Amino acid sequence: MNGSGSLPEEIRALVEGAREWARSARTLMEELAAMESPSGDEAAVREVSERFAGLLEERGARVERHPAPGWGQHLDARLGEGAPPLLVVGHLDTVHPVGTLERLPVEERTGNDGVPRLYGPGVYDMKGGLALLLTALELLESQGRGPGVPLRILVTADEEVGSPHSRDLLETAARDASGALVLEPPLPGGGMKVRRKGMAGWTLAMEGVPAHAGIEPEKGASAIHALVGVLEEVVALGRPAEGTTVNVGTIRGGTTGNVVAESAEARVDVRFRTRAEGARVTSAMEALRPRDPRCTLRLQGGINRGAMEPGPRALEMARRALEAARPLARAMGRPEPHTGATGGGSDGNLISAVGCPVLDGLGPDGAGAHTMEEHVLLEDLPYRIVLYSLLLSAPGLGAGTDHGHVQV
pLDDT of 35 higher than 80:
yes
Whole-number pLDDT of residue 7: 79
Q: What pLDDT score was predicted for residue 111?
A: 86
Please give the average per-residue pLDDT across 164-172, as a whole number. 98
Give the sign of the dihedral formed by CA 29, CA 31, CA 32, CA 35.
positive
Any residues with CB less than 8 A from the CB of 64 and at least 6 apart, and which? Answer: 75, 76, 77
Instruction: Please state whether beta strands 198-207 and 245-253 pair in parallel, antiparallel, or not at all (unpaired).
Output: unpaired
pLDDT at residue 9 in the model: 80
Which residues, other chains included, contact 401 with Cβ-Cβ below 8 Å and sequence gap of 6+?
313, 355, 356, 357
List domains and CATH numbers for the chain: 9-196+308-393 (3.40.630.10), 198-305 (3.30.70.360)
Q: Report d(CA 198, CA 174) in Å as an integer.
A: 18
pLDDT band at 163 (very low <50, low <70, confident <90, very high): very high
| pLDDT for the residue 2 | 57
| Position 358 pLDDT exceeds 70 | yes
Instruction: Tell me the H-state helices in 17-150.
Output: 18-34, 42-58, 128-142
The pLDDT assigned to 91 comes to 99
What is the model's pLDDT at position 92? 98
Instruction: Give the number of other CB atoms < 10 A from CB of residue 71.
Output: 24
* Residue range 56-76: mean pLDDT, rounded: 98
The residue count of the chain comes to 408
Average pLDDT over residues 96-117: 97
- Asked if 15 contacts 386 with a C-beta cutoff of 8 angstroms, the reply is yes
Q: What are phi and psi of 272, to 5 degrees?
A: -145, 145
Cα(50)–Cα(68) distance, integer angstroms: 13
Q: Are 139 and 398 in contact (CB under 8 A)?
A: no
Rounded to the nearest integer, the mean pLDDT of the chain is 95
pLDDT at residue 404, rounded to an integer: 42
Q: Which of 1-10, 67-76, 95-104, 262-271 has the lowest mean pLDDT?
A: 1-10
For residues 328 and 122, what is the distance between their CA atoms, to the nearest angstrom? 27
- pLDDT over 70 for what percent of the chain? 96
Contact 387, 324 (CB under 8 A): yes
Q: Rounded to the nearest 5 degrees, what angle is found at the Cα of 156, between the Cα atoms of 155 and 159?
A: 130
pLDDT for 158 beyond 70: yes
Confidence of residue 315 (pLDDT cuts 50, 70, 90): very high
How far is Cα 24 from Cα 135, in angstroms, rounded to an integer? 7
Specify whether the CB–CB gap between 138 and 392 falls below 8 A: no
- What are the start-end ranges of the H helices in 17-125? 18-34, 42-58
pLDDT score of 254? 98
Give the CA distances from residue 397 to residues 26, 180, 181, 231, 313, in Å, rounded to whole numbers and listed in that order: 27, 9, 10, 46, 9
Q: What is the mean pLDDT of residues 97-122?
A: 97
pLDDT digits (tens, 9 = 90+) for 215-267: 999 999 999 999 999 999 999 999 999 999 999 999 999 999 999 999 999 99
320/383 Cα distance (integer angstroms) = 17
Tell which wins on pLDDT, 14 or 309.
Answer: 309
Cis ω for the linkage preceding 199 (within 30 of 0): no
CB atoms within 10 A of CB 23: 12
The pLDDT of residue 398: 62
**pLDDT tens, position by position, 185-226:** 999 999 999 999 999 999 999 999 999 999 999 999 999 999
What is the reported pLDDT for 13? Answer: 80
Position 1 confidence tier, pLDDT thresholds 50, 70, 90: low
User: Residues 385-400: pLDDT tens digits?
Assistant: 999 999 999 876 765 5
Residue 406 has pLDDT above 50, yes or no: no
Q: Are 292 and 342 in contact (CB under 8 A)?
A: no
Query: Helix axis angle, 9-16 relative to 312-332, nearest 10°?
Result: 60
- 0.85 exceeded by the pTM? yes
Confidence at residue 4, expressed as pLDDT on a 0 to 100 scale? 62
Distance CA 130, CA 56 (A): 10
Judging by beta carbons within 10 Å of its beta carbon (0-12, 13-18, 19+), is residue 152 exposed, middle or buried?
buried
State residue 27's pLDDT score: 98
Q: Which residue from 368, 373, 365, 358 is spatially nearest to 332, judged by alpha carbons?
A: 365
Maximum separation of any 2 CA atoms in the chain, in Å: 88
